[in-house]
Amino acid sequence: MGEIIKINDLHRDFIVGDETVRALRGISFTINPGEFVTVMGSSGSGKSTLLNILGCLDVATSGDYFLDGVDVKSIDKDGRATLRNRKIGFIFQSYNLLPKTTALENVELPLFYNRSVSNAERRERSRKALIEVGLEDRMNHYSNQLSGGQQQRVAIARALVNDPVILLADEATGNLDTRTSYEILVLFQKLHDDGKTIIFVTHNPEISKFSTRTITLRDGHIIGDIMNPEIKSAKKVLDSLPVDDTQ
């Protein structure tokens, strides 16, 4: 299997008033299947812009982007929507679950936009995804009845349900307390062990210790791209945390 993501000399310019803001100034890297990559950088470093482009929500001003062998540059808006639906799983900082909707229905959502998935299959796959994130007993709870950690698990299940080639997480633990953050990281590591390719965008250096590779951005350039020699286990850290009574 070839590389999942291949970008080459990627530029992204925004025109704000009379000025041109150059958010990305020539970025190149390749991500292979099974990698767990954290993209680090302070705010304004271009990591959100990069994530948008990787997620096919935005297109680069210049440079090449191949997602799972598809040249994204050559695809129109609707084509990119389909690409997002089939190949990408998004996980957001603020979960973005639909209100007044059950966990199961939230997870089903991406499959609603996939004609080839039947009603029965959609339900079955959504159940499996929820089981995978450990929410088998919360399927019919409404999103406002779930804790932050549980909501993020639903969001992860939603990202998994279409069996994407890559999971894109944007500060996925940013809204969670320490313990819940580690729980989510445990889940990410488990998914990674199961063979999922993950890109985790964060400004928190702590998180990069749990990934296999760290790409650091500053001012639109890559200033660091290292393979982590020693990957910490989120589960061990979680076990070492003092037990919280409220959990």
Contact positions toward another protein, by CB under 8 A? 52, 55, 57-58, 77-78, 81-82, 84-86, 90, 92, 96, 98-101, 105, 109-110, 112-115, 158, 162
Closest to another protein by CB, 201 or 234 = 201
Dihedrals phi, psi of 150, to nearest 5 degrees = -65, -40
Distances (CA, A) of 169 to 64, 74, 157, 184: 22, 25, 12, 11
Q: How far is the CB of 235 from another protein (least distance, A)?
A: 29
Find the shortest distance in angstroms from Cβ 53 to another protein: 10
CB-wise, 50 or 237, nearer to another protein? 50
Indicate the residue among 52 and 212 with the shorter CB distance to another protein: 52
Length of the chain: 247
90 vs 200 by CB, closer to another protein: 90
What stretch of H or E contains 180? Answer: helix 178-193
Q: How far is the CB of 98 from another protein (least distance, A)?
A: 6
Whichever of 20 and 112 has its CB closer to another protein, that residue is 112
CA atoms within 13 A on the CB side of 42: 2
Compute the distance between CA of residue 231 and CA of residue 155 in angstroms, rounded to an integer. 25
> Which of 52, 32, 50, 43 lies closest to 213, judged by CA?
32
- Our CB check for another protein shows the closer of 14 and 20 to be 14
Q: How far is the CB of 93 from another protein (least distance, A)?
A: 9
Return the amino acid letter for 137: D
Complex with another protein: residue 36 or 95, whichever CB lies closer: 95
Give Rg (Cα) of the chain. 18
Minimum CB separation of residue 112 from another protein in Å reads 5
**Min separation Cβ 237 and another protein, Å:** 30
For residue 95 the two structure tokens come to 């979960």
As a whole number of angstroms, the distance between CA 214 and CA 190 comes to: 18
Parallel, antiparallel or unpaired: strands 36-40 and 198-202: parallel
d(CA 197, CA 33): 6
Q: d(Cα 216, Cα 42) in Å, to the nearest integer?
A: 9
CB of 85 vs another protein, minimal distance in Å: 2
